Amino acid sequence: MRVLVLQGSPNTNGSTARLVAKFCRGAKEAGHEVRVEDVAMLDIAPCTGCVACGYGGPCAQSDDFDELREQILLSDMLVFATPLYYYGMTAQLKTVIDRFCAANPNITDKHLKSALLAVAWNSDGWTFDALEAHYNTLVRYLSMQDRGRVLGRGCGTPAMTARSRYMREAYELGRSLR
């Protein structure tokens, strides 16, 4: 299976990157091809809502999303990885997802598998409610098949994350993919 991780953290060596690395290790050990795209480092403009794409593409804008779109459509699974920023995903990851509209039917027709990896400083039980609601809506709208999520509460620094149970959970999620 081809797995594409959309890593949305602008901190390339932070807690999100640590979870992603463990997930990828597990997925590779399970025999999957894994590619990580640090979307915060790509030059991707926000969707303008022009609908020139007709919701099927190509997008009227030409930037790094052109190549990313191809990688998405070559994949069997998308993993959304983000730190929690004010109870949602990062703006960088949201910008990428907004540009999905230029590929909606292509993505939907693939019935991709998906997963969510997220970290937050907060450890309250409700910390990820809004992010999970958004992710659940994306999964439903794009006809994806959720394969799991790791929600790292109390992972405010890489050191906190490294000592947490979420590192093992990320590895096990990757390892469990079929």
**Burial class (CB within 10 angstroms; exposed 0-12, middle 13-18, buried 19+) of 10:** middle
Query: Is the pLDDT higher at 58 or at 81?
Result: 81
pLDDT of residue 113 exceeding 90, the answer is yes
Tens of pLDDT along 39-71? 999 999 999 999 999 988 889 999 999 999 999
pLDDT for the residue 104: 92
Report how far residue 16's alpha carbon sits from residue 9's, in angstroms, rounded to the nearest whole number. Answer: 7
Q: Could you tell me the CATH number of the domain that includes residue 13?
A: 3.40.50.360
Q: Count of CB atoms within 10 A of residue 48's CB?
A: 12
Say if residues 117 and 83 touch (Cβ distance below 8 Å). no
pLDDT for the residue 57: 84
Residue whose structure tokens are 């540009």: 99
In the predicted model, what is the mean pLDDT of residues 125-133?
97
Say if residues 76 and 112 touch (Cβ distance below 8 Å). yes
Number of domains in the chain: 1
Report how far residue 14's alpha carbon sits from residue 91's, in angstroms, rounded to the nearest whole number. Answer: 16
Residue whose structure tokens are 């990820």: 128
The range of the structural domain enclosing residue 139 comes to 2-120+128-176
